[in-house]
């Protein structure tokens, strides 16, 4: 498993939509990353846009001399203003990609990026060929080692996979929302399946009730973007909470917490999966890392979950 570093970037906005995870404590974020390293987690996924650069800076500071022992994945494509913490546009031109790469290298305090991911999930297919070629040139220049696309589009993932150094696709998947077609594609093309939203934006941690209210500067709060499905009006969705209740006993079997069971489902789903739960505290990292001691769910548990969820 890895860890997703979206939340530690702090608040930022796209127009009036909050797209960060609320206020953060950088010292706690750094302590959490150090704890993750001690527990054997060596894959960290971030983006230049998370906190408009802040997540990359915190990750770079936390890794320090331990950088060589980890895999850093970051993303590009969005343009932003660090002063106002607002997304201002997008740029996937060759010059824009090279500039974004150099800026990420500076913020991460490193001279190479292990996995560089395209963050514009619905980008034009024809234009994506030029993006892929630009990434290949960055590999040759030693700026990045591998690349991938953060997209839920099979067609786009397949196009990128034609590049010699494409090694991953990041896509939405969790026990509530299976993605069988993308799993098949990753297995066919030998791509890592990096699982975005493995804990359903926190719902699968079990700590939210129908009465929970999220902060206005949280992507799940009242100012959430239109694509937010797990939380509505700043509160957890009753529909999704009922689905969780239906499979809770299976996920928590054998002594797992609910979140650990959700991660175990992903590992059982395919040998290609790498869930990247988000975090803001040491405690969250410790609980998520604890899932590794249990390993994947049994095949019969997967079949029972599918039956309960009607798929």
DSSP state of 22: S
Name which of 113, 123, 104, 118 is nearest 146 in CA terms.
Answer: 113
CB 53 within 8 A of CB 109: no
Residue 311 CA to residue 222 CA, distance in Å, equals 31
pLDDT at 283: 98
Name the pairing type of β-strands 273-275 and 192-196: parallel
Q: 22: burial class by Cβ within 10 Å (0-12, 13-18, 19+)?
A: middle
Domains in the chain, start-ordered, CATH in brackets?
3-205+262-295 (3.20.20.100)
Residue 126 CA to residue 122 CA, distance in Å, equals 12
Catalytic residue among 50, 147, 208, 230: 50
Kindly give the interhelix angle for 238-251 and 258-269, rounded to the nearest 10 degrees. Answer: 80
Q: 299: burial class by Cβ within 10 Å (0-12, 13-18, 19+)?
A: exposed
CB 276 within 8 A of CB 2: yes
The residue ranges of DSSP E strands in the chain, in sequence order, are 3-4, 13-14, 17-18, 43-45, 71-76, 78-81, 86-90, 113-118, 144-150, 166-172, 192-196, 231-232, 235-236, 273-275
pLDDT at 256: 98
Q: What is the mean pLDDT of each run of 10 residues along the chain (311 residues)?
A: 98 96 97 98 98 98 96 98 97 98 98 98 97 98 98 98 98 98 98 98 94 93 92 93 97 97 98 97 98 97 98 94
pLDDT at 22: 93
Tell me whether residue 112 is one of the annotated catalytic residues: no
Confidence (pTM): 0.96
Exposure string for 237-257, b = 16+ CB within 10 A, e = fewer: beebbebbeebeebbbeeebb
């Amino acid at each position: 498993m890895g860890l997703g570093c979206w939340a530690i970037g702090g608040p930022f906005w796209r127009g009036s939509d909050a797209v960060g995870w609320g206020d953060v404590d950088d010292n706690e974020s750094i302590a959490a990353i150090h704890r993750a390293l001690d527990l054997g987690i060596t894959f960290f996924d971030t983006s230049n846009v998370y906190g408009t650069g802040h997540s990359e800076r915190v990750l770079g500071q936390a890794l320090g001399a331990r950088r060589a022992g980890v895999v850093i994945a970051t993303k590009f494509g969005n343009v932003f203003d660090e002063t106002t913490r607002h997304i201002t546009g997008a740029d996937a031109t060759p010059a824009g990609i090279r500039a974004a790469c150099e800026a990420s290298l500076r913020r991460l305090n490193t001279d190479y990026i292990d996995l560089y991911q395209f963050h514009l999930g619905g980008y034009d297919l024809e234009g994506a060929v030029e993006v892929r070629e630009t990434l290949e040139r960055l590999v040759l220049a030693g700026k990045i080692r591998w690349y991938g696309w953060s997209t839920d589009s099979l067609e786009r993932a397949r196009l990128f996979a034609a590049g010699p150094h494409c090694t991953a696709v990041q896509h939405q998947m969790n026990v509530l929302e299976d993605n069988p077609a993308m799993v098949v594609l990753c297995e066919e093309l030998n791509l890592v399946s990096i699982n975005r939203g493995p804990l359903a934006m926190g719902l699968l941690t079990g700590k939210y009730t129908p009465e929970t209210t999220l902060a206005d500067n949280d992507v799940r709060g009242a100012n959430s973007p239109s694509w937010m499905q797990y939380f509505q009006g700043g509160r957890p969705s009753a529909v999704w909470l009922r689905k969780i209740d239906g499979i809770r006993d299976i996920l928590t079997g054998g002594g797992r917490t609910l979140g650990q069971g959700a991660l175990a489902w992903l590992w059982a789903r395919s040998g290609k999966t790498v869930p990247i739960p988000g975090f803001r505290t040491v405690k969250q990292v410790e609980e998520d890392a604890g899932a590794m001691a249990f390993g994947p769910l049994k095949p019969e548990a997967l079949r029972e979950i599918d039956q309960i969820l009607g798929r």
